[in-house]
Structure 1
Amino acid sequence: MSAAAAFAGGIRRGSLADVEAVLALEALFPSDRMSRRSVRRFLSVPSAQLLIAEDANADVVGNLVWLRRKGGHAARIYSVVVAPAARGQRWGERLVSAMETAAAASGCARATLEVRADNTAARALYAKLGYREAQTLPGYYDDGSDGLRLSKTLSV
């Protein structure tokens, strides 16, 4: 799939032109932010994809980074961010669904992610999309908060 290829639902593959928009979204949240260096790296390595959600005005309202090890059969959702003003419009769902489609098309049979145990909104979204708890991660986050590893079998 080319870097400019579009996904359904206002989702497209990210490019270096999106770095500032991704960093602006990251700045809206108090912790676990990606750095400029990380964003640029995710956009340049073959083991990562950054998906961008755009609204009808072509404003960036969300993004998702997913990773895949060379020769691996699992996709790992590294980060999902949706602007607070765009919540409730199914952008998170669309980003995750677009990632699953791309991951399955590239041969991934499973998707995994880590989520804060206290993030009830994200946990509800992932449960709705078929993700199941695979492991509890005590003290996983920098602030000492617990995490959960979730997993889903993808239709290849």
Structure 2
Amino acid sequence: MPATYTVRRAGPADLAALVALEQASFSYDRMSPRQYRRHLASPGAAVLLAEDAGALLGSALLFFRRGSALARLYSLATAAAARGRGIGKALLQAAEAEARRRGAARLRLEVRRDNAAAVQLYEKHGYRRIAELAAYYDDGADAWRYEKSLIASPPP
């Protein structure tokens, strides 16, 4: 099935849809409308979204620290009805491109150990597990920390 969606930078008009996706996607550590509003306006954050005919299919939130070569993928969510369409992959690739554009050499993220689909996505796209984080989430779930170099390796 060909991709019929676009990935773009989110803006203030996307706030309600982003918050609705957040509520539907996560049962823990949810971001509030106030937090999203702040991230949408912050030069240290990038909110990306995938949409099809105005419908929000997924989102990704990245954080950047001035002077750091490390970017952080804080959140990646795909709407339940859009799963299996490559939305997660497209958002991950867009997040990596945005991090590179801002000069990051590495992208880091945390993921619940029990989120098999996300773990598979990250590992398939070159992320390596660098740490285990016990009771990382509000509900006590463990996490794994992953990282990927964004600098292309020279050919052998």
Query: In the TM superposition, what are the counterparts of 1:97-112 in structure 2 within 5 Å?
Result: 97-112=93-108
Query: In the TM superposition, what are the counterparts of 1:25-64 in structure 2 within 5 Å?
Result: 25-28=21-24, 29-55=26-52, 57-64=53-60
Secondary structure at the aligned position of 1:127 is classed as: helix
Cα distance in 2 for partners of 1:155, 1:88 equals 29
Larger mean Cα displacement after TM superposition, 24-33 or 137-146: 24-33
**Unaligned ranges ≥5, structure 2:** none
Q: What is aligned with 2:80? A: 84
In the TM superposition, residue 119 of structure 1 has moved relative to its aligned partner by 0.6
Cα distance in 1 for partners of 2:83, 2:97 equals 22
Q: Which amino acid aligns with 2:148?
A: K
Cα distance in 1 for partners of 2:101, 2:21 equals 28
Dislocated runs of 4+, deviation >2 Å: none
Identity %: 46
Q: What is aligned with 1:16? A: 12
Secondary structure at the aligned position of 2:37 is classed as: helix
Q: Which amino acid aligns with 1:102?
A: E
Q: Which amino acid aligns with 2:70?
A: A
Q: What is aligned with 1:136? A: 132
Residue number among 107, 113, 119 corresponding to 1:117 in the alignment: 113
Secondary structure at the aligned position of 2:62 is classed as: strand
Cα distance in 1 for partners of 2:104, 2:59 equals 20
Cα distance in 1 for partners of 2:20, 2:134 equals 30
Secondary structure at the aligned position of 1:64 is classed as: strand
CA shift digits 1:96-144 (9 cap, x unpaired)? 1001011112110000000001110100000111111010000100011
In the TM superposition, residue 71 of structure 1 has moved relative to its aligned partner by 1.1
Larger mean Cα displacement after TM superposition, 91-100 or 22-31: 22-31
Q: What is aligned with 1:4? A: none
**TM-score w.r.t. length of structure 1:** 0.91
Q: Which amino acid aligns with 2:91?
A: L
Cα distance in 2 for partners of 1:47, 1:118 equals 29
Contact 2:28–2:137, Cα closer than 8 Å, also in 1: no
- Asked whether 1:66 is paired with 2:84, we answer no
Secondary structure at the aligned position of 2:47 is classed as: strand
In the TM superposition, residue 155 of structure 1 has moved relative to its aligned partner by 2.7
Cα distance in 2 for partners of 1:37, 1:129 equals 32
Contact 2:61–2:74, Cα closer than 8 Å, also in 1: yes
- Asked whether 1:126 is paired with 2:134, we answer no
RMSD: 1.1
